[in-house]
Amino acid sequence: MISAPDVVAFTREEELEDELCSEPPLPEEYSVPLFPFASHGANPWAKVASSKFTRDFILISEFSEQVGPQPLLTIPNDAKVSGTFDLNYFSLRIMSVDYQASFVGHPPGSAYPKLNFVEDSKVVLGDSKEGAFAYVHHLTLYDLEARGFVRPFCMAYISADEHKIMQQFQELSAEFSKASECLKTGNRKAFANELEKKLKDLDYTRTVLHNETEIQKKANDKGYYTTQAIEKANELASVEKSIIEHQDLLKQIRSYPYRKLKRSDFHPYEPECALDQANTGCDQDLTTSDLAEPGETQLYAHVPSYTPKLIKAKSAKCFDKKLKTLEELCDIYFFTQTLDQLHQIERTFRGDVCYLLTDQISRALLKQQSVTNFLFEDVSFLDEKPPEKQYRGCQGLSQDAIDRKCSEESPAPKVVISLGSYKSSVECVPIKMEQEIEDSQEPKMTESITFEHQENLDYLDADIKGSISSGESIEVLGTEKSASGLTKSESQASLPVSPSPQVGRSKVGSRRTVSEDSIEVLSTCPSESLIPEDFKASYPSAINEEPYVDDEEGGLHFTPKLNPDNADEQEDISKPENLVQVDSACCIGKESPNFLEPLPDLGQKPCNEDGVVRIPPQPYRQVEPGLRGSFGSFPSHDGISGGLLPYELDSRYLTGSREVSKSSLDECSDSTSYISSAASTCSDRTPSPAHLTCQASERHKKKAGQNALRFIRQYPFAHPAIYSLLSGRTLIVLGEEEAIVKKLVTALSIFVPNCGIYAKPVKHWVTSPLHVVDFQKWKLIGLQRVVSPAGVNVLHALSRYSRYVSILDADSKTLRCPLYKGTLVSRLADHRTQIKRGSTYYMHVQSILTQLCSKAFLFTFCHHLHLPISEREPEESVVNRRMNFLKLQLGLANEDIKIVQYLAELLKLQYIQEPGQGVNPLLRFDYVPSFLYKI
């Protein structure tokens, strides 16, 4: 209700200035920054010529082991969308950014192949030449037939508007994580199934081989073994080994906890039948015994119907075989769920970024009004979970953090510097995203960070230069962490910046030079990754020696004391004032000699409290030949006990994550940044819908607004009718024609306060006689007038209960209801209003109702207005004080008082309602005479 769409559309500067002079300034959250290139006569909404696609879209790509990066599908699946945009090229680009090390195979320390449960990585990537900016979400799916059992995929949200990607990073990340989670769940299920089948095959093969060996033994009475027999024995042994390996894999995949899925009640498992028919892909026999419960055990339920077949013991890697499609990789049900989710993402984020931002600000502000917002807000709107909550990493974000967010800015992307160790031609360029709470208007030129650590400084200097000069460089401005199970060789610094106050406006400040053919990776790290282990894992040496690395130790300092025992301290730290400052700018990745040592202890600690199975990948890695530049690394400290590390981390995890998630990171910048082409654009001109759930209600609002406008213009007695609704007296719209009645009901429904966080108490069409229970439940009823004996009953009931209702007769255009002499409704429903559009009028109504709500809130929560100050104070003086407050302080006249009193009762009821119980459906009424209004 807060967002007024009219605010956004200032395109000419002088107009804007005039407005600013005459009107009181907009609340800070709503002020739109001036378009930086306005002086050049550019239209901020003009499309950038360089983008080759017409609107935002989602691209799914795979790094195929056979053909390399390839695009799989786009959403929307329409050739027009991507236009001349080279999907192949872009797939190559985005897949090449995937640095995550997901080693699967035989690590030397362990006997069996290990699965690495890799966390998704989330990066922002820009290609200024193509005019494309993308949020890229990498994920890994398992495939028994693939190399290393993994298939890297990525999902990318591609837009021409860099700012949209940057500012909506958090939301994009949350939404894509859901999609990815869904996909991966299906994949784990399919993978487990595949493993089971393979195991059966192996088991069968073993039996066959065993029998053959026995036969040979019996046949062989010479006392020595034939070569044939020895071969058979070898084959048997290898099959047995293979069985153990596969069993181990199965155990690993099954041990993957379901925590995410359980938390984000994101996908509704459909009943068995749905799964059955949906399952057409790889696992025909999987779902027969599968239950619809999202339990891991049930998902991987034993399936007896598979007929095993004899297989060769040696796994033949054949490259001419056809790789599984994405649908086959993850159970078709989950695949369609994912597609649905992606479609929803596309719908949610299409349109101009300012619309999205305004919407988000409104939501954030509305969430603060938790006491009153149920009264007039859309139910679907309130039901939605705040995006923060779906975020694992944000568990630590307590209320004050959210408050801080609101007070600052939109939930802008938490720009993060995390400099990964790239094995490809990737350079690290630290950028600065400075956090300033007070002043966010002026973009600051930022400075490159000074690295105190001498060793690193040199490297970095070289890197920065390199990135600027290089013609084919990829700038990595930060990446997200990958799996938690990183070992040193692959670790990267992944340091968060807490919600930057000015990211919304400081885009200018963080411009970067973009060379001709570069891809920028403006990487951001969602708070998900903000667990201190990452820091520590990244700086193993430093951490083991000193948990709080200061500047001297490598450009990283932790101000907070990571003290798990001191809860109070933690509280303090979590307050916005005490923001933890974490500076970081460093990159590691160059293998230092001691990193090459395998860490057996790490390998034996597959789980942390997080529940993530993690198996450290093999530290040994081939340094790829194309490595450009060298990366700074910390001086290696001797005597590190690798086995100690994870325990230390564990002990700090719970407390640390909370603090660090709030920690701010600054001082990482690229001073010369400037964006040449990625001016704020609207990537398409499709109307900007807010969220999918609101789409229907958006239409409804518009329609209701229009009808309401018509109503207040047509009916001179609109005011008493609206007063009836606002004061909780049921209004009955009586008429013969259903369409007319329903239209009136729709129109009037925008004035009906909700009685709880359920659907509006509006009944569009009733044909039977009404009862007192109906007035308790419904506050606006459309009633059929029938000319028949039954109709007489209906009317008789109306006359009987006339004291509880106001009656609007749509046929004879009369209204029977109590008198209204207040002033409030006339502002709400002025029949001479200049408002033309339904949605605008809806907004107008909502804003006045919001004012009303705040009055009701004040009234409800002033203690002395309802209860005596001292025990001996008589009730009359409290009543006097109450009336004085209503009249003088709130400026209410006559019947307006009753409106506020009614709303206050609703607020009280809502507030004192115990969670388990429903709201007591009570009916309040007055003994007041009614009058008949005619046109």
Which residues here bind another protein, judged by CB under 8 A? 771-773, 776, 795-803, 816, 860-861, 863, 866-867, 901, 905, 908-909, 911-912, 920-932
Residue type, 807: I
Question: Closest separation between CB of residue 802 and another protein, Å?
Answer: 5
Instruction: Give the residue with the Cβ less far from another protein, 310 or 772.
Output: 772
Question: Closest separation between CB of residue 895 and another protein, Å?
Answer: 15
Do the Cβ atoms of 524 and 429 come closer than 8 Å? no
Instruction: Give the residue with the Cβ less far from another protein, 221 or 568.
Output: 568
Please, which residues have CB within 8 angstroms of residue 549's CB and are 6 or more apart in sequence? 539, 542, 543, 556, 557, 558
User: Comparing C-alpha atoms, which of 62, 58, 94, 100 is closest to residue 325?
Assistant: 62
Structure tokens given for 841: 């009028």
Question: Closest separation between CB of residue 773 and another protein, Å?
Answer: 5
Q: How far apart are CA 573 and CA 570, in angstroms?
A: 5
Instruction: Give the residue with the Cβ less far from another protein, 67 or 922.
Output: 922
Instruction: Give the residue with the Cβ less far from another protein, 254 or 866.
Output: 866
Residue type, 837: R
Identify the DSSP state of 507: G
Do the Cβ atoms of 153 and 60 come closer than 8 Å? yes
Identify the DSSP state of 803: G
Instruction: Give the residue with the Cβ less far from another protein, 106 or 796.
Output: 796
Q: How far apart are CA 704 and CA 677, in angstroms?
A: 42
Q: Kindly give the residue spans of alpha helices, DSSP state H, lying in 560-610.
A: 567-574, 600-603
Identify the DSSP state of 271: P
Question: Closest separation between CB of residue 762 and another protein, Å?
Answer: 19
Strand partners, 934: 814
Question: Closest separation between CB of residue 658 and another protein, Å?
Answer: 19
Work out the number of other CB atoms within 10 angstroms of the CB of residue 603: 22
Question: Closest separation between CB of residue 861 and another protein, Å?
Answer: 8
Q: How far apart are CA 216 and CA 210, in angstroms?
A: 10
Please, which residues have CB within 8 angstroms of residue 341's CB and are 6 or more apart in sequence? 175, 178, 179, 182, 266
Q: How far apart are CA 208 and CA 226, in angstroms?
A: 19
DSSP 873-905: --HHHHHHHHHHIIIIIS---TTHHHHHHHHHH
Instruction: Give the residue with the Cβ less far from another protein, 302 or 863.
Output: 863
Q: How many CA atoms lie within 13 A of 97 on its CB side?
A: 40
Q: How far apart are CA 202 and CA 867, in angstroms?
A: 79
Instruction: Give the residue with the Cβ less far from another protein, 349 or 902.
Output: 902
Instruction: Give the residue with the Cβ less far from another protein, 647 or 758.
Output: 758
Instruction: Give the residue with the Cβ less far from another protein, 694 or 906.
Output: 906
Question: Closest separation between CB of residue 863 and another protein, Å?
Answer: 6
Instruction: Give the residue with the Cβ less far from another protein, 373 or 484.
Output: 373
Question: Closest separation between CB of residue 819 and another protein, Å?
Answer: 12
Residues in the chain: 935
Coil, strand or helix at 322: coil
Instruction: Give the residue with the Cβ less far from another protein, 551 or 905.
Output: 905
Question: Closest separation between CB of residue 900 and another protein, Å?
Answer: 12
Question: Closest separation between CB of residue 799 and another protein, Å?
Answer: 5
Instruction: Give the residue with the Cβ less far from another protein, 37 or 925.
Output: 925
The greatest distance separating any two alpha carbons of the chain, rounded to the nearest whole angstrom, comes to: 118
Mode of pairing for the β-strands spanning 519-521 and 121-127? antiparallel
* E strands present in 527-594: 557-558, 582-583
Instruction: Give the residue with the Cβ less far from another protein, 400 or 698.
Output: 400
User: Comparing C-alpha atoms, which of 501, 504, 591 is closest to residue 540?
Assistant: 591
Rg (CA), the chain: 33
Q: How far apart are CA 472 and CA 515, in angstroms?
A: 8
Q: Which residue's entry shows tokens 């998704």?
A: 120
Instruction: Give the residue with the Cβ less far from another protein, 729 or 844.
Output: 729
Instruction: Give the residue with the Cβ less far from another protein, 121 or 373.
Output: 373
Sign, CA dihedral 307-310-313-316, equals negative
Please, which residues have CB within 8 angstroms of residue 653's CB and are 6 or more apart in sequence? 531, 532, 533, 608, 609, 610
Question: Closest separation between CB of residue 880 and another protein, Å?
Answer: 14
Tell me how far CA of residue 602 lies from CA of 247, 403, 533, 610, in angstroms.
22, 39, 13, 16
Q: Kindly give the residue spans of alpha helices, DSSP state H, lying in 140-168.
A: 162-167
Coil, strand or helix at 86: coil
Instruction: Give the residue with the Cβ less far from another protein, 296 or 809.
Output: 809
Instruction: Give the residue with the Cβ less far from another protein, 663 or 901.
Output: 901
Sign, CA dihedral 198-199-200-201, equals positive
Question: Closest separation between CB of residue 922 and another protein, Å?
Answer: 5
Question: Closest separation between CB of residue 874 and another protein, Å?
Answer: 13
Question: Closest separation between CB of residue 876 and another protein, Å?
Answer: 12
Q: How far apart are CA 197 and CA 308, in angstroms?
A: 7
Instruction: Give the residue with the Cβ less far from another protein, 512 or 816.
Output: 816
Question: Closest separation between CB of residue 718 and another protein, Å?
Answer: 20
Q: How far apart are CA 288 and CA 377, in angstroms?
A: 45
Question: Closest separation between CB of residue 732 and another protein, Å?
Answer: 13
Question: Closest separation between CB of residue 412 and another protein, Å?
Answer: 25
Mode of pairing for the β-strands spanning 805-809 and 930-934? unpaired
Question: Closest separation between CB of residue 140 and another protein, Å?
Answer: 44
Q: How far apart are CA 135 and CA 171, in angstroms?
A: 11
